[in-house]
Each structure stands twice: as structure tokens, then as C-alpha cells.
């Protein structure tokens, strides 16, 4: 298993993370990007159906256009957020100030927790609307696999974004330790 030198935002000294090395750094963000692509891609591709008797499309989730719109919006915005934090991850080693690093990690904690909440809401909303969908609206079961995939990957995204927040909390503790250590033992005082 690949052991990474950098966490999602910076150096991660704890390598005994019980197999979490793969979810740290840019390689880990690929999973979050993939999950968001699956959610919005499956809804955009097969989330809307045409009825022979009606002239317009309707959402596969109980004919509720808000369900499809929420899934697509959260998926696209989560993907863009992943790209933003991927750029920050590349730039992070160049940040020399511990205070600026702490700000970046604090933003990572807040954004990751916020996205975990949005994915939780999305999972509950999509699962509920799928549960109350009427079989007569989709007699040929078109797009059912895509609808289930969007629900499943919304569920998986809750845990990946929560894990991201937990790893960011650990990085914040490491940065706080580094700041205290550099205050107590300045580099100029070393022989």
C-alpha cells in the first residue's frame, strides 16, 4: 500500500492510520471527485424520463424535480470543491506561516463537515423520494440502476467527507503542536 508523505493539506506524521493512507492527499480526493461525478452523472444521464402520454420530462424520483436538481447541484458543487482543495493541497507546502496553514486546515475542517451534512441531506432526500415513487410512473424500470447508484454514492459520500473532516482535525492538532514547538524552541536558538 502506498504511504503518502503529505496529508490532504500538508505533512501527516502518523503513518499508522489503519489503511487510511490511500485517502490522504490528492489520491484520496480522486475518490471524492469520483463519488460526486457518479451522483450528478447518473441523475443527469438517466434521472429524467419521458412519458408517452405527456410531452415533457419528469424526474425519476417521485416526479419531484427538486430531488433531481438537488442531486445534480450538490454533485457538481462537491466536484468543484474537490478541485479547489486539490489546488490548495498542491500550494500547501509553499505556505511558510503556521498561522496561514492553520487557516487552510480550519477551512478544510469546516468545508468537509458542511459537505458531509449536505450529502446526508441529499441521501435522505433521494432515498425518501425513491421510496415513495410510483411504479406506474416508470413501468419499464428505465433508469432505476442510475437512481440507486446516485443514492448509494450519496451515502458513501457522507463517510468520505466525514473522514476528510476527521483527518483535517488531526492535521490541525499537528499544526498546533508545530506552532507551540517552534515558539518554545526557535530555530535560531539551536546550536
Virtual torsion, Cα 132, 36, 29, 19, nearest 10 deg: 30
* Percentage of the chain modeled with pLDDT above 70: 77
d(CA 164, CA 177): 20
Q: What is the pLDDT of residues 110-139, one digit of tens each?
A: 999 999 999 999 999 999 999 998 888 776
Instruction: At 42, list the grid cell.
Output: 447518473
Exposure of 108 by Cβ count < 10 A (0-12 exposed, 13-18 middle, 19+ buried)? buried
Q: What is the pLDDT of residues 2-59, one digit of tens each?
A: 333 333 444 333 333 444 544 556 666 677 788 889 898 898 898 888 877 777 888 8
Amino acid at each position: 500500500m502506498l504511504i503518502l508523505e503529505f496529508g490532504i493539506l500538508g505533512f501527516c506524521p502518523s503513518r499508522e492510520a489503519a489503511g487510511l493512507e490511500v485517502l490522504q492527499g490528492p489520491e484520496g480526493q480522486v475518490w471524492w471527485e469520483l463519488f460526486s461525478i457518479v451522483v450528478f452523472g447518473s441523475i443527469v444521464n438517466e434521472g429524467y424520463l419521458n412519458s408517452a402520454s405527456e410531452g415533457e420530462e419528469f424526474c425519476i424520483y417521485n416526479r419531484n424535480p427538486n430531488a433531481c436538481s438537488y442531486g445534480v447541484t450538490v454533485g457538481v458543487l462537491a466536484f468543484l470543491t474537490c478541485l479547489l482543495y486539490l489546488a490548495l493541497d498542491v500550494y500547501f507546502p509553499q505556505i511558510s506561516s503556521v498561522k496561514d496553514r492553520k487557516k487552510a486546515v480550519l477551512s478544510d475542517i469546516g468545508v468537509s463537515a458542511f459537505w458531509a451534512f449536505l450529502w446526508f441531506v441529499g441521501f435522505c432526500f433521494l432515498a425518501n423520494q425513491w421510496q415513495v415513487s410510483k411504479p406506474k410512473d416508470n413501468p419499464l424500470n428505465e433508469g432505476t440502476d442510475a437512481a440507486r447508484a446516485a443514492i448509494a454514492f450519496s451515502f458513501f459520500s457522507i463517510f468520505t467527507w466525514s473522514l476528510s473532516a476527521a483527518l483535517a482535525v488531526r492535521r490541525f492538532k499537528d499544526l498546533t503542536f508545530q506552532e507551540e514547538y517552534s515558539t518554545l524552541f526557535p530555530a535560531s536558538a539551536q546550536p
